[in-house]
Structure 1
C-alpha cells in the first residue's frame, strides 16, 4: 500500500523509516491542508495518509503514543455559522479510537483554554483536522497518530527539548504499522 506520512515539522519526522513518502507541511491548518492537497493531487497512487506529530494532553493521564478516532476544528465558529443557515463540519471521524483531538491554529499554553478544550477533547494539536479534511476531499483514508509532548500548559514551551522523544516513538510506530 502506498502511504503518505504527514508531519508539520522536520523535527517530528526526524526518524521516519527510510522508504516512506513524507511531506513536511509547516505549522498550522492552512499549511497542512495546502501541502497534503498538493501531494495528493500530484500523486494519485497514495492509498493512505498517516499524520504523525506531537500534541498536548488536555486531560491528565494521557501520555505516550495515541491513535486518534475523531478530530475537531476547535477554533472555527461552527455554531455561529450554522445559526446563519449554513451546514458546516467541525468534526471528522478518522478511526475507531474514542480519543478526540482538537485542532486549531492556537498554540495552547493557557490552563483556562486547556480546561475549556478538555470538555470536548483529549488532545490538542495544530494540523490533524486539516490533514484529515484534505485526505477526505481526495478520497484517501487518513490515520492520525500523535505523541503527547506536553500538557497544553506552560510545559508546551519545552517542546524543542522533548520533540525528539516523540519523533522516535512515532518512527517506531510507523516501522511496526505501515
Structure 2
C-alpha cells in the first residue's frame, strides 16, 4: 500500500475519495504539521512508498508551468550558529529524494515577494513550498521511499497569495494526471 500525502484539501479536489492502492493523508500546512502527521502515519502502519502531491511557487523564471518531481529539498528559513542561511544546527542541509528533478526550498511562510525569491534562488532552489523538506526527512528517518510531485501554482511574486486558491484547483488536476501517468491509477 502507498501513502498519498497532501497538505491542503484544495490540492486533492481532482482526486477520487479512494484511490486504488493508496491511503490518503492530509497533513496540514507547514513543516511541523507535515512532520507530525507523517510521523504518526508511519508509526501506525507500514507503507511501500510515500507519494506527495501539492503546489509550489516557481522561483526560477525558466521553470515551466506543470508538475515537477522533486530531486532534493533544502530549508530557506533556517540558519546555523554561524548565521549561514539554509544550514540547520542539527538537520542535514539537503535531503535527496530522487536522481532527477528539481530542488525545492521549504519554509514556514508563503513566499510572494521578489526580494525573498532572489535570496532563496541564491541557495540553488527552483521552487518553494512549506512541507517537502520535512516530509522527505521523516520518510528517510523511517526508511520509506518517497516521491514528491509539485505543481507550479504561482511565481512567488506579489499577488501570489491572492491567486493560490484558484491555482490550487488547476494544479490538482495536473497532479491527478501525473499520478495516473506514473502509477496507472
- Compute the TM-score of the two structures, normalised by the length of structure 2: 0.88
Length, aligned pairs only: 173
For residues 54 and 123 of structure 1, the distance between their equivalents in structure 2, rounded to whole angstroms, comes to 10
- Compute the TM-score of the two structures, normalised by the length of structure 1: 0.91
**SS state at 1:108 partner:** coil
Gap runs ≥5 in structure 2: none
Taking structure 1 as reference, are residues 104 and 167 closer, same or farther at Cα in structure 2, changes over 3 Å only? same
Q: Deviation string for 1:91-120 (max 9, x for gaps)?
A: 100001241000010210110000111122
Gap runs ≥5 in structure 1: none
**SS state at 2:9 partner:** coil
Q: Which residue is 1:70 aligned to? A: 72
Q: Which residue is 1:95 aligned to? A: 98
Q: Does 1:164 align with 2:165?
A: no
Q: CA deviation at 1:169?
A: 0.6
Matched-pair contact (CA < 8 Å) for 1:73–1:129: yes
Taking structure 1 as reference, are residues 123 and 103 closer, same or farther at Cα in structure 2, changes over 3 Å only? same
**SS state at 1:154 partner:** coil
For residues 180 and 174 of structure 2, the distance between their equivalents in structure 1, rounded to whole angstroms, comes to 10
